[in-house]
């Protein structure tokens, strides 16, 4: 099955329509850079769901790190894709803050030992 976007809504289309649309369309939902990590969410236009009776997986969030791409999550509708992108970005930021807090606590303990 092929789909193209009508605004933010995915609509079925023929193979030929999809190729024509996909060649010129902006199919990016969101892109966020966090240091050297890229979080990218795009409209795929082709159903990537392996289960025939499930909703089509038409959007995908991927994380690119160290020149590697990591397929992360797929979604049925634009709003799910936006929410999934925001959640992935938030999870990365939370982990960064958590790691910094652990590192800061470790440094405090080391600093206290150095002062003694």
Task: Determine the Cα–Cα distance for residues 59 and 114; give it in Å rounded to an integer.
Answer: 52
Residue-level pLDDT at 102: 65
Higher-scoring residue by pLDDT: 27, 98: 27
Residue-level pLDDT at 4: 96
Task: Determine the Cα–Cα distance for residues 31 and 8; give it in Å rounded to an integer.
Answer: 16
Task: Determine the Cα–Cα distance for residues 40 and 68; give it in Å rounded to an integer.
Answer: 13
Task: Determine the Cα–Cα distance for residues 54 and 40; give it in Å rounded to an integer.
Answer: 24
Higher-scoring residue by pLDDT: 43, 109: 43
Kindly state the helix (H) or strand (E) to which residue 113 belongs, with its residue range: helix 78-115
Higher-scoring residue by pLDDT: 96, 27: 27
For the chain, how many structural domains are there in total?
A: 1
What are the two backbone dihedrals, phi and then psi, of residue 35, each rounded to the nearest 5 degrees? 55, -120
CA-nearest of 20, 6, 18, 31 to 81 is 31
Higher-scoring residue by pLDDT: 6, 107: 6
Which domain covers residue 33, as residue numbers? 2-115
Report yes or no: 92 and 39 within 8 Å, Cβ to Cβ. yes
The tens digit of pLDDT for each residue in 24-76 reads 999 999 999 988 888 999 999 998 888 888 899 999 999 888 777 766 789 99
Residue-level pLDDT at 20: 94
């Amino acid at each position: 099955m092929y789909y193209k976007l009508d605004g933010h809504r995915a609509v079925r289309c023929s193979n030929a329509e999809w190729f024509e649309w996909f060649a010129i369309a902006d199919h990016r939902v969101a892109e966020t850079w966090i240091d050297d990590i890229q979080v990218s969410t795009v409209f795929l236009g082709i159903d990537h769901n392996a289960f025939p009776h499930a909703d089509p997986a038409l959007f995908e969030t991927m994380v690119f790190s160290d020149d590697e791409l990591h397929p992360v999550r797929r979604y049925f509708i634009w709003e799910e894709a936006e929410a999934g992108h925001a959640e992935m970005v938030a999870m990365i930021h939370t982990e960064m803050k958590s790691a910094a807090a652990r590192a800061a606590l470790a440094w405090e303990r080391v600093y206290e030992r150095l002062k003694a």
